Amino acid sequence: MPELPEVETTLRGIAPHILNQKITQVIVRQPKLRWKMPDDLVQILQGQVVRHCRRRAKYLLIELDAGVLMIHLGMSGSLRIFHGRQPEAGKHDHFDAIFADGTLLRYHDPRRFGAILWLAGVAEHHDLLKNLGVEPLSDEFTASYLLNQLRGKNRAIKLMIMDNAIVVGVGNIYANESLFQAALLPNRPANSLSLNDCENLVSAIKHILQRAIETGGSTLRDFVNSDGKSGYFQQEYKVYGRAGETCKMCGSLIEKTVLGQRGTFYCANCQK
Ligand SMILES: [Zn+2]
């Protein structure tokens, strides 16, 4: 499933190709994704110019003259850019936007859990965006912010950092890896963390997401005429998926439990 780093990598991959370009043609082959695309999406988009591209949580926001095209990759969605001769559309290529210079932006999604929506107003007022917490890589995500959010809560810290109302985009893999880097057990009650613990955790989350984006960024060229698979981030995990293997720090065995129905991996010796 595309996580925040893959969405950021996608944004950086497509933005330079479509920025300041006019949409000349739109093709919708299958409007039924997680939510149905608007019936008049083709008419709405034609003739509009891309003014800005950005990301909020895992939503790609393509700002046009009259509103925002919001794209979510769901479980299996991807966006690709093609120049020159346009390849024939496959069965899972649900949406194409073609620009004045011939550039093609194509949305591919075998499982169709993604979304392509049109927002006529301010993106941040939309129901899907208005209750989201802070961006993990922004200056708003600080140790004191996190400490404040954890105050009085005894839920496991792992569940708190995966809660989108507190901070967005910390998926299961990143939560496991960040807690290992911060030397905190995943089931530590949220209100037992000190400011120093929060400092370690916030910097671990930022570091791990940043590294994932940089790794993805090194394959940006693959967004052009690629097989669409290689832009995704791959990392050498320290704990995630390593139950029964030895900890790379201390040699103890990595243990696995389930928290909030998600696989949770940790080293009981390194994490307290
Ligand atoms: Zn260890």
Per-residue pLDDT band at 225 (split at 50, 70, 90): very low
Q: Is 153 annotated as a binding residue?
A: yes
Catalytic residue chosen out of the listed positions 6, 8, 55, 58: 58
pLDDT one-digit tens code per residue, 193-219: 999 999 999 999 999 999 888 877 544
Q: pLDDT tens digit string along 147-179?
A: 999 999 999 999 999 999 999 999 999 999 999
Q: Is 22 a catalytic site residue? A: no
Pick from 184, 128, 129: nearest CA to 161: 184
Give residue 235's pLDDT.
Answer: 52
Report pLDDT for 229: 42
92 marked among binding-site residues: yes
Q: Which CATH class is domain 4-125?
A: alpha beta
Residue 125 is assigned to a ligand binding site: no
Fold assignment, 143-266: Helicase, Ruva Protein; domain 3 (1.10.8)
Specify whether the CB–CB gap between 6 and 233 falls below 8 A. yes
Per-domain residue ranges for the chain?
4-125, 143-266
**Assigned token pair, 108:** 């591919």
Backbone angles phi, psi at 204, to 5 degrees: -65, -45
Q: What is the pTM of this model?
A: 0.90
